[in-house]
Chains A and B, each alone.
Chain A
Amino acid sequence: VLVSLICSPPQNYPLYIRSVPTENELKFHYTVHTSLDVVDEKISAMGKALVDQRELYLGLLYPTEDYKVYGYVTNSKVKFVMVVDSSNTALRDNEIRSMFRKLHNSYTDIMCNPFYNPGDRIHSRAFDNMVNSMMMQVC
């Protein structure tokens, strides 16, 4: 199970959310939204090297629920959140990082599009394809 969400600052409203493969979307949506608070916490905590890209590994949020939430923040405070099942123990940290990098790269491509207004929901098909392919790799 994999859910990804992209939220843009400053109000953190979501630009893009996609979950696969189960349809338990509402729960995951709730999870990612709550994890945004944790992400914000970490951003404020990291005083130095704010300019650097950093990956925020939030770890297990709920002891009962067996899934992990990963966070990633870009220089422009755009947050990427990914929820994965802990049953996917094969998912290593490196893979998560690479997935975030891909997300970031695709997001940058979208930004380059002059027809895209920052803050709009992301409808790019190329982006969707990339996210789908990424999720298929995991699941």
Chain B
Amino acid sequence: VLFQIMELCGATRLGYFGRSQFYIALKLVAVAQSGLPLRVESLNTVKDLPLPRFVVSKNEQESRHTALYSSDADNPASYSGVIPPPPGRIQVKKGSVSHDAVQQRTSTDQQESTSPVVSPQQSPPTSPHTWRKHNRHPSGGNNERPLAGPGPFWAPFSEAQPGSSTSSDPIWSGHSPPPHQENWVSFADTPPTSALLAMHPASVQDQTTVRTVASATTTNEIRRQSSSYDDPWKITDEQRQYYVNQFKTIQPDLNGFIPGSAAKEFFTKSKLPILELSHIWELSDFDKDGALTLDEFCAAFHLVVARKNGYDLPEKLPESLMPKLIDLEDSTEVGEQTGEVGYSSSPAEAPPSKSPSMPSLNQTWPELNQSSEQWETFSERSSSSQTLTQFDSNIAPADPDTAIVHPVPIRMTPSKIHMQEMELKRTGSDHANPTSPLLVKPPDLPEESKMSSSVKFTAGNTVTDGYSSSDSYASDPEQIGSTVTRQRSQSGTSPDNTAPPPPPPRPHPSHSRSSSLDMNRSFSVTPGQQQAGVVAYPPAVPPRPQPSQGAGPHVHRPVDAEGLIAHTSTSPQQIPEQPNFADFSQFEAFAVSGVSKEEEEEIETHSEVLQVEKPSDSASSLRGAKADGRVEDKAPANVPTSAGKGTTPLAPPPKPIRRRLKSEDELRPEAEEHTQKTGVIAAVLASQPSIPRSVGKDKKAIQASIRRNKETNTVLARLNSELQQQLKDVLEERISLEVQLEQLRPFSHL
């Protein structure tokens, strides 16, 4: 029986003939008391009949669905794969239906009225009523048909094919509003003409006959079939036209938006509960912009119609309803509709239809029947493109980082962006939101690239710099990622941010360096805090002995942080640069010695500043805290490492530092040298601040900044080597002085 029902379902899917098939199937289901097939069928019918009619019972849905199917069946082309089997079935059904039509009608009526099994077809009584309402067809028998359930539907459908087809045609054509009304009509046509409930074979036969009749009927049917093909949520052409007209009444520009308030008023007129309207809005406002484009509006309207007809709202927007390209053929909407319809039909089917109609249908179909498979393929075909987008839209919100970055989040996933792009193509109105994420991304990317480029620049400086800068750099990517993720629109960029984390860290260290240079420059350019910060650095550095270097960074950090916080740099890079600048200047003052440590400290502070300064980063403070923690960790680590490395530059730095403390004179010359070099570096950095600013705007500028950064890197490298040389000289001098001292001491004794 199930199998038969499945067959019926398949037949129903095909089209109007499918409708009769549907009836038959319903009837069978009622007979077999297997709700599943019926549900599937009802799903199909629902899909095909996304009419605003109030389809309380599945039967009605199925009937509509079958009607649609029949119309679809008329169009062999659309149902190439599916049609063959159903016709056979239809044939069978038809015969049986005709036979049992009358009987089955009554039986189905009874069945329907009493068949809780047929969940899809819940309220047979209501269905007839709805039929009456929607059914323009004068035949009152139509109402009864639904009651009869699948059987009646089938029967009338098949029987009425000759007559119904003709009558349905005019009805269809005359019925501009929701196509499923037409389906109703066509359905109604069939019931009166054929009371084929009978057997499943009979219904099949009926279906076939109906189909044949339908084929003879009109292109409208065909069109409807194609539109309603396997897609309960599909918006048929008539429906769509109706929606478009409604849209025009609110918003004359078809490419414009309907603001939320206007949409709210409009949909409130449908007298649906606010909760459901809210849910419909959530589903249909695809780009979450608070306004409805034409496609979104059609989707929302369709959902309202379906809901009023008793279909449950889906959890996700069906593919056919997704606001993809503006396509009056409903090809895109089909998927969504199918999804929604499937879901909406779930009230009768409840459990089965929970999942998106398409997937569930697809799942059930294979189980059910070959026809179901065909049906799926058909639906897949129609909704393939939308499936992709639907997934994307679904994925977008789910994507935490990208969404946050985005999604806004949810949304900035590449797929989402793709969808947005599609939406852009479709309507200019929708472009606002889709483009925004896209637009947001590019700025982020340039920023990132810029920073990375600057980082590279600094990377070339020294190992120690890279050492410390890597720390700061690590914090920067995090910041970047966090800032990006912060904004939904930028969520898409977050993947980019997070994607190349490894490269950025390396460049970042250099970036911090370069930024330090920029800081110098920026200091020179921007007076005040930066300079204060810079000034604070040099004095702080000398007094800081090696052991206290760990403490120094902390001190510096707060200072830098404060300075930086107070400073409102145009670009975050500048801000970090400032601390770096300060650090760098300190570095210069200390020459090679302590550079590693100080740099680390500076970088830490810099990273702190970066973290703090990231305006959009809500977690910046936290990150700053983290960075502080990291920096602190780094500082102590650096100290031990520096201590551990006797030959490493760290070792010399401590000595020189101590040496400086001992001998200011030597320090001063070094400082002078450093200052000279600092001046050079400052000059280089000065050029860099401009780099960060322009980066965000122009990729060429980024490249130019990259080049400049590289140049700065080379300059800094040169400076570094020179400072190293000076350090060696100083050490030699120190040794010589110590030797002299020892020599003098014995003499003193003497």
User: Do A and B actually bind?
Assistant: yes
Report how far A101 CA is from B278 CA in the complex, Å: 23
Q: Is the Cβ of B398 less than 8 Å from the Cβ of A115? A: no
A116 contact set on B, CB distance < 8 A: 278
- Is there a chain A Cβ closer than 8 Å to B352's Cβ? no
Most chain A CB neighbours (cut-off 10 Å) among B264, B278, B290, B478: B278
- Is there a chain B Cβ closer than 8 Å to A27's Cβ? no
| Chain-A contact segment, one of B10-18, B49-57, B406-414, B440-448 | B406-414
Most chain A CB neighbours (cut-off 10 Å) among B274, B404, B410: B404
Q: Is the Cβ of B618 less than 8 Å from the Cβ of A126? A: no
Task: Choose from A105, A110, A112 the contact partner of B409 (Cβ within 8 Å).
Answer: A105
Least Cβ distance of A109 to chain B in Å?
5
A sample of 6 more A-B contacts (CB under 8 A), given A48-B565, A123-B278, is A54-B618, A98-B400, A99-B400, A105-B408, A105-B488, A112-B285
Q: Write 17 A-B pairs (CB below 8 A) sorted by A numbering.
A: A49-B621, A52-B616, A54-B618, A54-B622, A55-B621, A93-B626, A101-B400, A101-B404, A101-B409, A101-B485, A105-B410, A105-B491, A108-B488, A114-B261, A123-B275, A125-B282, A130-B398
A106 contact set on B, CB distance < 8 A: 397, 410
- Is there a chain A Cβ closer than 8 Å to B513's Cβ? no
Least Cβ distance of B548 to chain A in Å?
29
**Residues A114 and B290 in contact in the complex (CB < 8 Å), given A109-B408, A126-B282:** yes
- Is there a chain B Cβ closer than 8 Å to A124's Cβ? yes
A34 contact set on B, CB distance < 8 A: none
| Number of B positions contacting A (CB below 8 A) | 44
- Is there a chain A Cβ closer than 8 Å to B500's Cβ? no
- Is there a chain B Cβ closer than 8 Å to A18's Cβ? no
B619 contact set on A, CB distance < 8 A: 53-55, 97
Least Cβ distance of A52 to chain B in Å?
6
- Is there a chain B Cβ closer than 8 Å to A44's Cβ? no
For chain A residues 69-106, which have a beta carbon within 8 Å of chain B?
A: 72, 93-94, 97-99, 101-102, 105-106
Q: Is the Cβ of A105 less than 8 Å from the Cβ of B403? A: yes
Task: Identify whether the interface residues of B are mostly helix, strand, loop, or mixed.
Answer: helix
B565 contact set on A, CB distance < 8 A: 48-49
Q: Is the Cβ of A102 less than 8 Å from the Cβ of B400? A: yes
B621 contact set on A, CB distance < 8 A: 49, 54-55
- Is there a chain A Cβ closer than 8 Å to B615's Cβ? yes
Report how far A38 CA is from B664 CA in the complex, Å: 51
Q: What 1/0 mask marks residues of chain A from 47 to 73 whose CB sits below 8 Å from any chain B CB?
A: 011001111010000000000000010
Q: What 1/0 mask marks residues of chain B from 364 to 392 whose CB sits below 8 Å from any chain A CB?
A: 00000000000000000000000000000
| Chain A positions near chain B (C-beta within 8 angstroms) | 48-49, 52-55, 57, 72, 93-94, 97-99, 101-102, 105-106, 108-110, 112-116, 123-126, 129-130, 133-134
B486 contact set on A, CB distance < 8 A: 53, 101
Q: Is the Cβ of A112 less than 8 Å from the Cβ of B398? A: no
B260 contact set on A, CB distance < 8 A: 112-114
For chain B residues 246-298, which have a beta carbon within 8 Å of chain A?
A: 260-261, 263-264, 267, 274-275, 277-279, 281-282, 285, 288-290
Which residue of the partner chain B has the closest CB to A75? B618
- Is there a chain A Cβ closer than 8 Å to B672's Cβ? no
A114 contact set on B, CB distance < 8 A: 260-261, 263-264, 281, 290
Which residue of the partner chain A has the closest CB to B620? A52
- Is there a chain A Cβ closer than 8 Å to B315's Cβ? yes
| Chain B positions near chain A (C-beta within 8 angstroms) | 260-261, 263-264, 267, 274-275, 277-279, 281-282, 285, 288-290, 315, 397-398, 400-401, 403-404, 406-410, 478, 482, 485-486, 488, 491, 565, 615-622, 626
Report how far A38 CA is from B363 CA in the complex, Å: 51
Q: Is the Cβ of B407 less than 8 Å from the Cβ of A115? A: no
Q: Is the Cβ of A126 less than 8 Å from the Cβ of B397? A: yes
Q: Which 3 A-B pairs have the closest CB atoms?
A: A53-B618, A114-B260, A105-B409
Q: Is the Cβ of B397 less than 8 Å from the Cβ of A108? A: no
Most chain B CB neighbours (cut-off 10 Å) among A93, A97, A108: A97
Report how far A134 CA is from B409 CA in the complex, Å: 14
Report how far A49 CA is from B618 CA in the complex, Å: 10
Q: Is the Cβ of B282 less than 8 Å from the Cβ of A124? A: yes
Q: Is the Cβ of A105 less than 8 Å from the Cβ of B622? A: no
Task: Choose from B279, B288, B404, B626 the contact partner of A112 (Cβ within 8 Å).
Answer: B288
Task: Choose from B263, B290, B315, B482 the contact partner of A125 (Cβ within 8 Å).
Answer: B315
Q: Is the Cβ of A109 less than 8 Å from the Cβ of B400? A: no
Which residue of the partner chain B has the closest CB to A111? B290
Least Cβ distance of B188 to chain A in Å?
35
Least Cβ distance of B598 to chain A in Å?
28
Q: Is the Cβ of A93 less than 8 Å from the Cβ of B403? A: no
Which residue of the partner chain A has the closest CB to B621? A54
Which residue of the partner chain A has the closest CB to B313? A125
Least Cβ distance of B243 to chain A in Å?
18
**Residues A97 and B482 in contact in the complex (CB < 8 Å), given A115-B277, A124-B282:** yes
Report how far A102 CA is from B398 CA in the complex, Å: 9
Q: Is the Cβ of A98 less than 8 Å from the Cβ of B622? A: no
Which residue of the partner chain B has the closest CB to A133? B398
Least Cβ distance of A114 to chain B in Å?
3
Least Cβ distance of B558 to chain A in Å?
15
Report how far A28 CA is from B126 CA in the complex, Å: 46
Task: Choose from A55, A124, A134 the contact partner of B278 (Cβ within 8 Å).
Answer: A124
Q: Is the Cβ of A55 less than 8 Å from the Cβ of B488? A: no
Q: Is the Cβ of B618 less than 8 Å from the Cβ of A52? A: yes
Q: Is the Cβ of B282 less than 8 Å from the Cβ of A105? A: no
Q: Is the Cβ of B401 less than 8 Å from the Cβ of A113? A: no
Which residue of the partner chain A has the closest CB to B277? A115
Least Cβ distance of A5 to chain B in Å?
18
Q: Is the Cβ of B408 less than 8 Å from the Cβ of A113? A: no
Least Cβ distance of B155 to chain A in Å?
39
